[in-house]
Amino acid sequence: MPSSDGKFKVSSAWELCRSRGEYIEDISKIWEKGLPFKVSFFMWRLWFRRIPIGEVLIRRNIVERVDCSYCNNSALGTFSHLFVNCPSAQSVWKTFRNAAGLSFPINQLQQIMKDWWKADGSPKLKQLFKVVPVFITWEIWKKRNVMKHGGNMICSIDKIYGGEMESSPMGVYKCNTDASYQLESGVGCIAFCIRDIRGDLKYAESRRINTTSILEAEVMAINEGLQYCSQGNFLPLIIETDSLVAQKVIHGVWEVPWQIAWDIRHIQTMIRSHGVEVIHVLREGNSLDDALTKSFAHFTISKYAGTITTGESYFAIRQRKDS
């Protein structure tokens, strides 16, 4: 509409020149706050079928046939097959759907996404449900490109939280730990994640604790991660912490505060018995654990059991046994 004062404005000229398309409410969920722009832009192109897969290339007479990069049954690389009907895609969708306790058919991509967006749950779960189908689709697309064109694929959980973690040395596991603490409430949160030689996530856990200081929380995180790695035989092991104080105290460089003396002795004993190395890293190299402690979720995801269990103090991600 022209400006109300009768004067020329670029904004009013733009409104007169452009033609508005029909408003699609579901499109707004693709541009969810916090999603990487490239993921949202990809989803927008996918929604309108504007990505260069076999179906589009055939329609434009660029190629005569393009088979699915996943399958061995010579299936055509159509939108519906690649993102929904391919056995690999079906497995991914069903795994997450069953883990969330939802029940809807896996038939059509846009309907699947709407079912996720409209699923009932707590406010925190609804926020998760908004992004789950987006990143499942993004991972399928990345995997397709790797299989078709070559290259390496990094788990998106690193991208979501703004960093990448280096792979472990040959035959060595890496456990990154972190903690947070609120002075007013006296409540803290600890987190640790375990990676293998390729940098693949094996296990990640975050839970609430009652503590009196951030140093005590950092030491508890190291202790919990060390115990889990010992029990799960994730050895040999390198532990990385972004707390320089905790690392110095464990190595005996600085004096041990009496509040954490027992935990420090326990850590030192396990380090000697298992040959564990504890090193200090900057926060940028500890982004996953830093995110788990700061944006702690009130539920547990276990791919072993394929279920989500509500709770107030525990969050864990485990690698599938068959992966």
pLDDT-based confidence at residue 73 (cuts at 50, 70, 90): low
pLDDT at 299: 35
Residue 93 confidence (pLDDT) above 60: yes
Taking the alpha carbons at both ends of the chain, their separation in whole angstroms is: 58
| 34 compared with 225, residue with greater pLDDT | 225
Nearest Cα to 190, choosing from 163, 209, 175?
209
> Across 128-137, 230-239, 298-307, which has the greatest mean pLDDT?
230-239
Q: Are 203 and 193 in contact (CB under 8 A)?
A: yes
Fold (topology level) of 166-318: Nucleotidyltransferase; domain 5 (3.30.420)
Lowest mean pLDDT among 234-238, 257-261, 300-304: 300-304
> What is the pLDDT of the chain when averaged over all its residues?
77
Alpha helices in the chain (DSSP H): 10-17, 27-30, 37-47, 54-59, 79-80, 87-99, 109-117, 123-149, 156-160, 214-231, 244-250, 261-274, 287-294
In the chain, residues under CATH classification 3.30.420.10 are: 166-318
pTM, to two decimals: 0.46
Residue 174 confidence (pLDDT) above 70: yes
Residue 183 confidence (pLDDT) above 50: yes
Mean per-residue pLDDT for 145-156?
62
Q: Tens of pLDDT along 216-255?
A: 999 999 999 999 999 999 999 999 998 999 999 999 999 9
- pLDDT above 70 covers a percentage of the chain that reads 75
Cα Dmax for the chain: 82
| 94 compared with 69, residue with greater pLDDT | 94
Residue 12 confidence (pLDDT) above 80: no
